[in-house]
Amino acid sequence: MKTTDTPPPLGPGPGSGSGSGPGPGSADAGPVKTRPTGAKNDTPPAGQKGGGILNVFSHGVLVIWAILVVMPLLWAVMTSFKDDRSIFTSPWSLPDTLHFENWTRAWNQAHMSDYFLNTVLVVAGSLVGTLLLGSMAAYVLARFEFPGNRFIYYLFIGGMSFPIILALVPLFYVMNNMGLLNTIHGLILVYIAYSLPFTVFFLTSFFRTLPTSVAEAAIIDGASHTRTFFQVMLPMAKPGLISVGIFNFLGQWNQYLLPTVLNTDPENKVLSQGLVQLAVSQGYKGDWSGLFAGLVMAMLPVLAAYIVFQRQVVAGLTAGALK
Give the pLDDT mean for 292-311.
86
Go through the chain and tell me how many residues it has. 323
290-300 pLDDT tens trace: 888 888 988 88
Give the pLDDT mean for 7-28.
46
SS3 154: helix
Give the number of other Cβ atoms within 10 Å of residue 105's Cβ: 18
Q: Please, which pLDDT band fits residue 29 given cuts at 50, 70 and 90?
A: very low
Radius of gyration of the chain (CA): 35
Which residue type, as a one-letter code, is found at position 251?
G
Domains, the chain, ordered by start: 117-282 (1.10.3720.10)
Name the pTM for this structure: 0.74
SS3 14: coil
Q: Please, which pLDDT band fits residue 119 given cuts at 50, 70 and 90?
A: very high
Percent residues over pLDDT 70 in the chain:
79
> What pLDDT score does 11 carry?
47
How large is the greatest C-alpha to C-alpha distance in the chain, in angstroms?
Answer: 138
Backbone angles phi, psi at 78, to 5 degrees: -65, -40
Q: How far apart are CA 307 and CA 323, in angstroms?
A: 27
252-272 pLDDT tens trace: 998 888 998 998 888 888 888
Give the pLDDT mean for 101-110.
84
Q: What value does the mean pLDDT of the chain take?
A: 81
The DSSP result for 179-190, as a single string, is: T-TT-HHHHHHH
